[in-house]
Chains A and B, each alone.
Chain A
Amino acid sequence: MKKCLEGSNAIAHVVNSCKPGVVSAYPITPQTHIVEDLSKLNADGESGFEFVRAESEFAAASIVLGASATGVRSYTATSSQGLLLMTEVLFTIAGMRLPMVMTCANRAVSAPINIWNDQQDSMTVRDSGWIMLYAEDNQEAVDLHPVAFKVSEQLRLPVMINVDGFILTHTYQGLDIPTAKELAAFLPEYVPQKGQILDVKNPVSLGCFATPSDYMEIREDLYIDLKNSTKILKKELANYKKMFKRGSSELVEYYGDKKAKTVFVAMGSVVGTIKDAVDELNEEGKSVAVVKVKCFRPMPEAELLSKLTNAKNIAVVDKSISLGKEGILATEIKSICRQKNQKIQSFITGLGGRDITKKMIKGIYKKVLSKDNKIVFVKK
């Protein structure tokens, strides 16, 4: 049954339905409502998890690391500076092959201090070995959580679900939230593999020292497993879609004119605004489409390549930047699409909560058709 809920509240409810054993977090805007609502469910006796209040994000990440190492389904959420403070632990979690799910309510990074949305936080930790998913709307954000737990535990890889701060976390819309009962058939109880966890009956060491003779092989294994995780991701997205009759099993989605010569590439909530702009441009007879990147790590290169093969002008709409280079997604798209007659241009939008309007998107359309190929900061 659909309910009209705030994004954060909906995420808290679906996380609770996934029956984690341990939730640990430190509050930070705009993630706060998620853990506040989880804490409320916990205090009201409506949850089965232990809620551990941490003294910092570094501690929160370390607590869920420890919880996962004991074989418990674990969850945390953060934003911005909080995610950056977790950075060291994020690499450790992935390197130790500990499953868990984190929601990142995407927010700009200091300085200047800014509490509003962009995606600089998560994009900065993209090399940490986590699966990274980006939600377009709150229904997708909700539905990605059970899939994330399932994939994470199957592959022993942590998953970060990115939701645009405020734009999604603070927005009310009608949503379907699966209950624990409804999820039971999709998401089985977490049973760790033997030797995967700290267990007095089967003693092992986790995350130990690796000399130059082994370190590279271990990192290569992680690379291979993360790269191959697209198969399981797609399979579980398809299973979820079959069971709940919504969503898409694709990691890269295409919307608009099927033979479009001009294509936007974007991630997260801005895709919704771009879709409306694409409809209007198509009605004016313009050949445009948008490619939505739902999964950023691992990068679904084959899917992206097949969806961008006919495009002549590609406008990559980033909400983050690699300072000294260009939009981070733009660099990735340039490494995938290498046809000589393709123009790929980097557009930086929405930094620090600057509203991204349909008018701006149409401005980008005009600019990407021009000969100029410099990075553009779209400010109005």
Chain B
Amino acid sequence: MNKSKIVQIRLHGRGGQGTVTAAELLAVAAFYQGKEVQAFPNFGVERRGAPVEAYARLSDQPIRIREQVYEPDFVIIQDPSLISPGSKVLQGINKDVVVIINSDEKVYPEIKTEKVFYIPATQIALDIIGKPFINTALIGAFGAISGLINEKALEQAIREKFVSKPDLIEVNVKAMKEAYSQLK
């Protein structure tokens, strides 16, 4: 029996924003906290700027289901220009769903939940990393808001991911921690 609740996360971004990597980092970090995890992309016809989706599931029990995420518990929106009436970004968002948006403006009336959190991930990335690598700030925000993944596990996942690009490690860890502290 697989009765324990599976936490379902859906990420929306554009090709080049590292949507798939963000899902992977969440899964790896949750794995370090002893969770069963699953992360996978929904590849379209890949090109820079095209909408991309990725999914992550976290659970205390082994995860067997392979379908995409239609009823998310969390939605992470890397690029708010993807939000429009009827868009896939809004699928399955009800009042219980937590939505995290990369934005410093707080105006997205299409999102029908009060649990909307805003994090200026692009600004944080530009300030700390010097490039618009928004992933690590967004996963920091997710960790703080959800309470499901702690800073230490997120840091471990980032360090492992960038092991072959050592100059990117400290800045990404710092960006994650900045977002984490802003929303904690």
Residues of A within 8 A of B (CB): 2, 4, 6, 115-116, 137, 166-167, 170-174, 269-270, 272-273, 275-276, 279, 355-358
Residues of B within 8 A of A269 (CB): 66
Are B40 and A170 interface neighbours, CB within 8 A?
yes
How extensive is the interface on chain B, given as a class?
20 to 34
Given the known A-B contacts A172-B27, A279-B2, are A358 and B67 also in contact in the complex, defined by CB atoms under 8 Å? yes
Are A173 and B38 interface neighbours, CB within 8 A?
yes
Residues of B within 8 A of A356 (CB): 66-67
Are A170 and B66 interface neighbours, CB within 8 A?
no
> What residue of chain A has the Cβ atom nearest to residue B160's Cβ?
A4
Q: At the interface, yes or no: B151 with Cβ under 8 Å from chain A?
A: no
Partner of B28, one of A4, A171, A275, A276: A4
18 A-B interface contacts by CB (under 8 A): A4-B32, A166-B43, A170-B40, A170-B41, A171-B38, A171-B39, A172-B24, A172-B38, A173-B27, A173-B37, A174-B36, A272-B64, A275-B64, A279-B1, A355-B67, A356-B66, A357-B68, A357-B70
Are B27 and A276 interface neighbours, CB within 8 A?
no
Residues of A within 8 A of B27 (CB): 4, 172-173
Determine how close the nearest CB of chain A comes to the CB of B155; give it in whole angstroms: 15
Residues of A within 8 A of B66 (CB): 167, 269-270, 272-273, 356
Rounded to whole angstroms, the CA-CA distance of A174 and B36 in the bound complex is 7
Residues of B within 8 A of A273 (CB): 64-67
Hey, what's the 0/1 contact readout for B31-52 against A, CB within 8 Å counting as 1?
1100011111101000000000
Rounded to whole angstroms, the CA-CA distance of A355 and B68 in the bound complex is 7
Residues of A within 8 A of B70 (CB): 357
Residues of B within 8 A of A4 (CB): 27-28, 31-32, 37
Determine how close the nearest CB of chain A comes to the CB of B158; give it in whole angstroms: 13
Residues of B within 8 A of A (CB): 1-2, 23-24, 27-28, 31-32, 36-41, 43, 63-68, 70
Rounded to whole angstroms, the CA-CA distance of A275 and B63 in the bound complex is 11
Residues of A within 8 A of B24 (CB): 6, 172
Given the known A-B contacts A4-B27, A172-B28, are A357 and B67 also in contact in the complex, defined by CB atoms under 8 Å? yes
Determine how close the nearest CB of chain B comes to the CB of A33; give it in whole angstroms: 12
Rounded to whole angstroms, the CA-CA distance of A245 and B103 in the bound complex is 48
Determine how close the nearest CB of chain A comes to the CB of B19; give it in whole angstroms: 13
Knowing that A4-B27, A172-B27 touch, tell me 9 more A-B residue pairs with CB under 8 angstroms. A2-B31, A115-B43, A170-B43, A174-B37, A273-B65, A275-B64, A276-B64, A279-B1, A358-B67
Rounded to whole angstroms, the CA-CA distance of A88 and B43 in the bound complex is 31
Rounded to whole angstroms, the CA-CA distance of A356 and B43 in the bound complex is 15
Given the known A-B contacts A279-B1, A279-B2, A357-B70, are A172 and B64 also in contact in the complex, defined by CB atoms under 8 Å? no
